[in-house]
Amino acid sequence: MSYKTCGKRIFDFVCALIGFLVLSPLLVIIAILIKVDSKGPVFFFQERMGKEGKIFRLVKFRSMYVDPVQEKKGFTPGDSSRITRIGKFIRKTKIDELPELINVIKGEMSLVGPRPEVPRYKHIYDAEYRAVLTLKPGITDPASIKYKDEEEILARSSDPEKMYIETILPDKLKINLSYLKEISFCNDLKIILDTIVRLIFRH
């Protein structure tokens, strides 16, 4: 049994389940803070591309004010105008992504893998990057570590979406292609530990 075929899924399921149980008190506290801070649901669901481009519902803590009109327009890179007070904190610390452990337990995501992209950017995964879609999307990956301050970078751009499409996303996909060639238990463990360390010691 190789790590790529079966070991990675076992590792994901066991670690995600343990992580969810251990972090459950924190998840409850964050859920209460979100409800107190602004009106709306605790969780935010959004369609993202999974393995082979299959669409699934990503679950995160809600970090923005509810606005049905804006939500219909979909995800816009660098959009920070609707972020709530608690939303700023959970996005900065990546706590908003902890509910994605549920996606990992369900088998829709992996602990380590390319961040799941919104369907409207599927055309960017051309022949050069199509291999990235052979992987399950993940909660963290080398590209996420490099672009841990992505929101701040996009906020400084005069055209955030253009910068994301033409510069950041292609670079992320190149990094993910390199990860595809280096998948191993040790490498995944290193990426997870590196992510945790960089979140704790951001500066």
Q: What is the pLDDT of residues 94-106, one digit of tens each?
A: 999 999 999 999 9
Question: Quick one: pLDDT at residue 8?
Answer: 96
178 and 142 Cβ atoms separated by less than 8 Å: yes
Confidence bin at 70 (pLDDT 50/70/90): low
**More reliable by pLDDT, 162 or 76:** 162
Q: What is the pLDDT of residues 182-193, one digit of tens each?
A: 999 999 999 999
> How many Cα neighbours within 13 Å face the side chain of 68?
0
The whole model's pTM is what? 0.90
Residue type, 47: E
Sign of CA dihedral 117, 122, 127, 133: positive
Question: Quick one: pLDDT at residue 69?
Answer: 62
Q: Is the pLDDT of residue 79 over 80?
A: no
Q: Is the pLDDT of residue 136 over 60?
A: yes
Query: Alpha-carbon distance 111 to 191, whole Å?
Result: 10
Question: Quick one: pLDDT at residue 127?
Answer: 85
158 lies in which domain range?
A: 3-200
**Diameter over CA atoms, the chain:** 50
Confidence bin at 68 (pLDDT 50/70/90): low
* Residue in this structure with the two tokens 């060639």, named with its chain if needed: 181
Q: Is the pLDDT of residue 194 over 60?
A: yes
Residue 45, C-beta contacts closer than 8 angstroms, at least 6 positions apart: 57, 58, 59
Confidence bin at 82 (pLDDT 50/70/90): confident
Q: Is the pLDDT of residue 131 over 60?
A: yes
Number of domains within the chain: 1
Backbone angles phi, psi at 93, to 5 degrees: -90, -5
Question: Quick one: pLDDT at residue 200?
Answer: 84
Query: Alpha-carbon distance 22 to 140, whole Å?
Result: 19
pLDDT > 70: what percent of the chain? 92
